[in-house]
C-alpha cells in the first residue's frame, strides 16, 4: 500500500506541475500533460527505469481509461445542437471532408511510403483524421467567435469530423458479429431512454447531496463501455454518443456539468494524458525524426488540400477561409486516444505510436499559432465580443476605445 501511495504522489505531482505550466504558458492543459509525461518518462529512463513508475499498474490504467471515457463524454456533452441544426449542411460537408482527406492521406503514407502493415496504416489514418474540439473551442471562446455564426459552423464541422473518427475506429477494428448486433441494439435502446431517466432522477433527487446523477452517468458509461469492449468495439464510442444525447439537458444545468468536468479534469484525465505521453519513446524520435515529420505533414497538408476548396464554398473572405481551415487541421484528444488504442491492441509498435502522438501534438500547436498570427478574422471579433457580453456593436467599440 505504501508503494501504491508513493506512485500516486509522483503522478499527481506531475499533474500539478502540468497545471502550473499550462497556466503560465497559456497552452492547452492536455497538451502540457502529454509533454510532461514524455519528459518524465525520458528522465526515468536516464535514472535506469524501464518506464515511468506506475505506468503499467492496473489501477492507473483503469483510472486513465476512465478518464478517456469521461473526456469523450464531455466532448459530446459540450456540443451545442443548435449549431448543428443551423449549419447542418456546412457542418456535414466540411466535417466529412475533414475526416476523409487526412484519413486517406495518412493511411496511404503509412502503407506505401513508410511500409507499415495495413492495420497500422489504417490506424495512422484514423489518428491523423481528428480535429481538436478542445483546442478549437478554447480559441474561439478567447475571441468571442464561438457566439458568431462563423464559430458555430466551425464547431459543427468539428463535431461531425470527430464523430466520423470515433465511428471509423470502432468499425474498422471491431469484428462484425452477433455480439456487435447486441451492442448496437442495447446501446440504442439505452440511449433512447437515457434523457427521460436522467430528468426523472433530477426531479426526485437533484437537490440532494448524494450526487445520484453523477453516479448514474458513471453507471451508464461503465455499462456501455463494458458491453462495447465485450463486442470488440471501443468504449469511447457509446460515451461520445451518450454525451451528445444529454447535451441539451446538461447545457441547462451548468452547475452539474461543472462538477463532472471538475471530477474528470481534476482526477482522471491527467493520468490519461501523462500516461499517454510516458509511452512515447524519445530515443526513437531522435533516431527517426523523418517519420514524425512525414506524419505531421500528411495530416496538415491533406487537411488543407481537402478543406480549403470546400470551405471556400461557404466562406468568401480570405482570412475566414484560412482561419477555418487551420483550426480544422488541429488534433489532440481523439488522436491520442486512437494512437493509444493502437498501441494497447498491438496494432502499432512503440516507435509508430511515438511518431503518431508527436505528430498529433504538433498539429495542436502549429496550425493554431499560424491561424492566430496571420488569419485571425478581426472583423468578426467585435461581433463575437458583443454577443459574448450581450452588448451592441457600438458599445463594444466604445469599450475597446476606452482601453486604448
Q: Tell me the DSSP string of 264-331.
A: IIIIIHHHHHHHHHHTS-HHHHHH-HHHHHHHHHHHHHHHHHHHHHHHHHH--SHHHHHHHHHHHT--
CA nearest neighbour of 30 among 61, 62, 68, 59? 68
Supply the pLDDT for residue 398: 47
- In what helix (H) or strand (E) does residue 225 lie, and over which residues does it extend? helix 212-230
| DSSP E strands, 86-213 | none
**What's the CA gap between 58 and 56, in Å, rounded?**
6
145: DSSP letter? G
Tell the residue number behind the cell numbers 477561409, with chain if given. 321
Domains (range + CATH), the chain: 58-173+234-372 (1.20.1530.20)
Q: Find the angle CA(84)-CA(87)-CA(92) to the nearest 5 degrees.
A: 75
All cell numbers assigned to 149: 455564426
Residue 286 to residues 126, 161, 355: CA-CA distances in angstroms?
24, 32, 10
Supply the pLDDT for residue 104: 96
Supply the pLDDT for residue 116: 96
Helix (H, G, I), strand (E, B) or coil at 376: coil
| DSSP E strands, 50-207 | none
CB environment 24-43: b (16+ within 10 A), e (fewer):
eeebbbbbbbbbbbbbbbbe
Supply the pLDDT for residue 301: 96
Q: Find the angle CA(8)-CA(332)-CA(261) to the nearest 5 degrees.
A: 55
**What's the CA gap between 333 and 80, in Å, rounded?**
19
Torsions phi, psi for 375 (to 5 deg): -125, 15
**Tens of pLDDT along the chain (404 residues)?**
778 899 999 999 999 999 999 888 877 788 888 889 999 999 999 998 888 998 889 999 999 989 888 888 887 787 766 667 778 889 999 999 999 999 999 999 999 999 999 999 999 999 999 998 777 876 787 777 877 888 888 988 988 998 899 889 888 887 778 888 898 899 999 989 998 888 888 888 766 667 888 889 999 999 999 998 888 777 888 888 898 888 888 777 777 788 888 888 889 989 988 998 898 888 877 877 899 999 999 999 999 999 999 999 999 899 999 999 999 999 887 888 899 889 988 999 989 999 999 899 889 888 988 998 899 898 888 665 555 555 444 444 444 444 44
Contacts of 85 by beta carbon, 8 Å cutoff, 6+ apart: none
Contacts of 246 by beta carbon, 8 Å cutoff, 6+ apart: 76, 77, 194, 195, 198, 217
Contacts of 332 by beta carbon, 8 Å cutoff, 6+ apart: 28, 30, 31, 130, 132, 134, 135, 360, 361, 363, 364
Supply the pLDDT for residue 396: 43
Amino acid at each position: 500500500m505504501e508503494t501504491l501511495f508513493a506512485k500516486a504522489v509522483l503522478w499527481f505531482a506531475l499533474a500539478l506541475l502540468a497545471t502550473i505550466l499550462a497556466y503560465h504558458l497559456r497552452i492547452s492543459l492536455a497538451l502540457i500533460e502529454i509533454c510532461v509525461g514524455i519528459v518524465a518518462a525520458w528522465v526515468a529512463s536516464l535514472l535506469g527505469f524501464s518506464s515511468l513508475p506506475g505506468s503499467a499498474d492496473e489501477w492507473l490504467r483503469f483510472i486513465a481509461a476512465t478518464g478517456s471515457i469521461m473526456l469523450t463524454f464531455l466532448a459530446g456533452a459540450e456540443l451545442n445542437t443548435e449549431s448543428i441544426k443551423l449549419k447542418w449542411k456546412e457542418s456535414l460537408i466540411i466535417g466529412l471532408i475533414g475526416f476523409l482527406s487526412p484519413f486517406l492521406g495518412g493511411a496511404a503514407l503509412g502503407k506505401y511510403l513508410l511500409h507499415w502493415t495495413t492495420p497500422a496504416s489504417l490506424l495512422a489514418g484514423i489518428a491523423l483524421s481528428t480535429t481538436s474540439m478542445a483546442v478549437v473551442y478554447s480559441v474561439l471562446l478567447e475571441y468571442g467567435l464561438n457566439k458568431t455564426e462563423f464559430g458555430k459552423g466551425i464547431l459543427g464541422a468539428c463535431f461531425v469530423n470527430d464523430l466520423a473518427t470515433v465511428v471509423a475506429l470502432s468499425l474498422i477494428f471491431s469484428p462484425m458479429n452477433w455480439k456487435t448486433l447486441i451492442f448496437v441494439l442495447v446501446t440504442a435502446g439505452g440511449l433512447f431512454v437515457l434523457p427521460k431517466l436522467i430528468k426523472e432522477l433530477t426531479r426526485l433527487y437533484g437537490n440532494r447531496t448524494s450526487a445520484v446523477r453523477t453516479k448514474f452517468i458513471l453507471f451508464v458509461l461503465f455499462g456501455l463501455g463494458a458491453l462495447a469492449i465485450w463486442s470488440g468495439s471501443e468504449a469511447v464510442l457509446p460515451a461520445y454518443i451518450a454525451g451528445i444525447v444529454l447535451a441539451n439537458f446538461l447545457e441547462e444545468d451548468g452547475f452539474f456539468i461543472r462538477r463532472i468536468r471538475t471530477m474528470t479534469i481534476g482526477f482522471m484525465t491527467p493520468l490519461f494524458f501523462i500516461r499517454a505521453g510516458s509511452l512515447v519513446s524519445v530515443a526513437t524520435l531522435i533516431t527517426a525524426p523523418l517519420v514524425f515529420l512525414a506524419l505531421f505533414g500528411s495530416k496538415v497538408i491533406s487537411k488543407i488540400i481537402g478543406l480549403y476548396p470546400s470551405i471556400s464554398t461557404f466562406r468568401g473572405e480570405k482570412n475566414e477561409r484560412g482561419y477555418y481551415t487551420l483550426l480544422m487541421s488541429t488534433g489532440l484528444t481523439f488522436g491520442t486516444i486512437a494512437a493509444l488504442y493502437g498501441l494497447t491492441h498491438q496494432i502499432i509498435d512503440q516507435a509508430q505510436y511515438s511518431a503518431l502522438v508527436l505528430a498529433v501534438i504538433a498539429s495542436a500547436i502549429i496550425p493554431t499559432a499560424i491561424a492566430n498570427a496571420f488569419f485571425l478574422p478581426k472583423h468578426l471579433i467585435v461581433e463575437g465580443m458583443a454577443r459574448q457580453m450581450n452588448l451592441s456593436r457600438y458599445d463594444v467599440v466604445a469599450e475597446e476605445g476606452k482601453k486604448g
